[in-house]
Chain A
Amino acid sequence: MRTRSTDALPVSSTIVLIYGQPGIGKTSLAITAATPILIDADNGQGRAAFRVDAETQPTWQSVAALLSDRDEMSMYNTVVIDTVGRLAELAMEYIAAKYPRMYNSETYKPSQEGYGMLKGLMGGVLRSLRDMGKDVVLIAHENDDDECREPKITGSTAALVKEIADLIGYYSLVDGRRVVDFRPSSSHWGKDSAGLGAMEIAPITASSTTMADMIAAYKAHQAKVSAASAEVMEAIERYKEAIASADSLNALKAVYDAIRKEGVAVEAQLRHLVTKRKEVLAKEAEVQNG
């Protein structure tokens, strides 16, 4: 599919990471997404507020087979991976069994090459789900060893998740209330690409749509920004033509005055073109005036 630079981009799929305190209700919150399937790698379903379709006691191979089965996956809008840290461990077990040279059995750690393969497998799964248009909710426990509470995910996968996730929320108890905080801070990770801020989570029931609403709010925000960006690009294209066709300094000044009214972002993108055109017109005026 070819899109023009001025087209609004469709927002098809969203990747959310929710991590936090044990027992706070991460799984229950995650499965309130639209028609989810739960990859229950951490046996979290039993502790959830209600049940949804799930792949229980998965292996890496069973997860990979399920996620690549387009017919099966067509029944679901959202894939909940509980937990992404445990799924990475399953991937590592698979790598260790299939490629023993990539795993050091004395230190129980993968080699550099093994970490690379792990990142490739995890990245591949997330990207293929995104390509299929599925929303993905990744769940992680928190690592409370450090000053900054980080999700408990193996090194290379943590960096991948941080990069690829559209939203990252830290789920914790604040003054007795359950809160997902999407704002980044020095005490926890966050990614707030839709201005969601800190959201109080009401008690979860089987009819809750909390996660579905969060994802919908993200998509609505992205669509709004994308449409606004397309409008700006259109305005810029219009002004580019007006700059090129301005045949006097006065005409160019009138175009530039109109550009300035559009705001600093538009002005900044066109200033160099106005400057160049001004130089050309000034030279032409000089020649005409002898």
Chain B
Amino acid sequence: MANLWLRVTQLDTFVNWTSGLDTVGILDKLTSYTPPTYAMQYGTAVGEMVERGLFDWPEGEPYLIQGRTKVVVDTAILRAFGELYRGGLWAAAAFEVPGLYKLASGAHTLTLTGTADAISGLTLYEHKTTHKTPDYTDSLQWQVYLEMFQLPVVAYYIAEVTETARKFKEMHQQTFWRTPESTANVELACRMFIDWVTRNKFEGYFTTPSKKYLSLTTDGSLFD
């Protein structure tokens, strides 16, 4: 009996690569560290700036991601996010909300961890910056998050940017709802992962949670 821990993004990776890679390849994808690309850093910067409400950031002014890496963001992106978060929504929302989802299967219990970009009322919000025509219909991420926080709906706020210069093109809003099928998808993906770990005796690779999430496991209480 093992308590397995996995991030939501890792489960997404697992599902996406199941049919494309051999066992070692999948394990490598799940456990190796990949340095963030410029596009990822740019997306991180936009996400942080939105969460801090920096919608009127001066043009050309570099922003420090987590106080370290400088990124100059196209301010049109921030203004577009600001437009979506108008009417008191930004002030009412909780940002960077950590959550857990647990599922027992066979001999093991899997705990998925993840951080929602924002939640307000019964709506979960995710912020994306991408140069591709976005479509998150099949993404496992939102399906897990809706289970994690027991919410009915997720809204993706997506800034489409040019591929190289990362200049703002247009804003997209995609909404997805929790359904019996999305719940079943999450359960199936978790069971597939647990089966894969059990079959290959990979338990040892997935037994360590981060401190951030460990604090959520004391039956939800901050006072125990």
Q: Show the binding face of A for B, using Cβ within 8 Å.
A: 2-6, 159, 162-163, 183-185, 192-195, 225, 228-230, 232-233, 236, 249, 253, 256-257, 260, 263-265, 267-272, 274-275, 278
Contacts of A269 in B (CB 8 A): 94, 97, 119-120
**CB–CB B149/A264 < 8 A:** yes
- B79-104, CB under 8 A of A: which get 1 and which 0? 00000000111011010011100000
User: Which residues of A lie under 8 Å from residue B88 when comparing CB positions?
Assistant: 4-5
Bound Cα distance from A232 to B120, whole angstroms: 9
Kindly state whether residue B22 has any CB partner on chain A within 8 Å: no
> How many Å from the CB of B71 to the closest CB on chain A?
25
In the complex, the answer to whether B150 meets A232 with C-beta atoms within 8 Å is: no
Across the interface, do A225 and B221 meet the contact criterion of CB distance under 8 Å?
no
- The residue of chain B having its C-beta at the shortest distance from the C-beta of A222 within the complex is B153
Residues from chain A with Cβ under 8 Å of B138 in the complex:
184
Kindly count the residue-residue contacts between A and B in the assembled complex, taking CB atoms under 8 Å apart: 89
- B25 in the interface (beta carbon within 8 A): no
Main secondary structure of the interface of A (DSSP, over half): helix
B173-189 interface bits toward A, Cβ cutoff 8 Å, 1 = contact, 0 = none: 11101010100000000
Bound Cα distance from A159 to B97, whole angstroms: 30
Among the listed B148, B173, B179, which residue makes an inter-chain contact with A183, where contact means beta carbons less than 8 Å apart? Answer: B179
Given contacts A232-B122, A256-B221, contact A163 B92 (CB under 8 A): no
The answer to whether B94 and A184 touch across the interface, beta carbons within 8 angstroms, is no
The CA of A257 and the CA of B91, in the complex, are separated in Å by 24
Alpha-carbon separation in the docked complex, A228 to B222 (Å): 27
Could you list 24 examples of A-B contacts with CB < 8 Å? A5-B89, A162-B137, A184-B181, A192-B177, A193-B177, A195-B177, A195-B179, A225-B122, A225-B152, A228-B122, A232-B122, A233-B92, A249-B223, A256-B223, A260-B221, A263-B150, A264-B149, A264-B220, A265-B150, A268-B94, A268-B99, A269-B119, A272-B94, A278-B222
Given A4-B88, A159-B133, A233-B121, the answer on whether A274 and B222 have CB atoms closer than 8 Å is: yes
The CA of A2 and the CA of B35, in the complex, are separated in Å by 44
Contact A268 B149 (CB under 8 A): yes
A270 contacts B94, CB within 8 Å? yes
**CB atoms of A275 and B121 under 8 A apart:** no
Quick one: closest A residue to B92, CB to CB? Answer: A5
Residues 106-147 of chain B, each 1 if its beta carbon lies under 8 Å from chain A, else 0: 000000000010011111000000000101011000000000
B220/A260 in contact, CB under 8 A: yes
B192 interfacial by beta-carbon distance below 8 Å: no
8 A Cβ contacts from B45-104 to A: 87-89, 91-92, 94, 97-99
* Smallest CB gap from B220: residue in A: A260
Query: What 7 pairs between A and B have smallest CB-CB spacing?
Result: A229-B121, A5-B92, A5-B88, A229-B122, A269-B94, A193-B177, A233-B121
Nearest chain B CB to A261's CB is how many angstroms away?
Answer: 11
Question: B221 to A233, Cβ gap below 8 A?
Answer: no
The contact of B87 among A5, A271, A275, by CB within 8 Å, is A5
Chain B min CB distance to A282 (Å) = 11
Given contacts A193-B175, A265-B151, A5 and B91 within 8 Å (CB-CB): yes
Nearest CB of chain B from residue A257's CB, rounded to whole Å? 8
Q: Does A229 contact B223, Cβ atoms closer than 8 Å?
A: no
